[in-house]
Amino acid sequence: MHKKIKVIITFVLSFIIAFFIVGYIKNTMFVAIDWVKGVTIWDKFREYYIRTFSSNIIPSFVIAVIFTIIMIFINTKKR
């Protein structure tokens, strides 16, 4: 049971990190965004992550699964 909890925690953390990285890269790569002067950090957060949630979820999921498999492989190799 202890090993399963570690795998789930690893997957959740890697998914959250991958979601933020995919959202940022997907919205800023090859695009020069000129923000309006009064834009807040919450407006940027909504633009990068909330508006594009449906298109960011699949790449983030795939990256998180790959990272979790790599971490499991590394941990079993050490034992």
Number of domains in the chain: 1
The 8-class DSSP code of residue 12 comes to H
Report angle CA 45, 9, 50 to the nearest 5 degrees.
15
Residue-level pLDDT, tens digit, the chain, 79 residues:
688 898 899 999 999 999 888 888 877 765 666 667 887 888 877 877 788 788 888 999 999 999 999 998 988 877 6
| pTM across the whole model | 0.76
Domain span at residue 49 reads 2-78
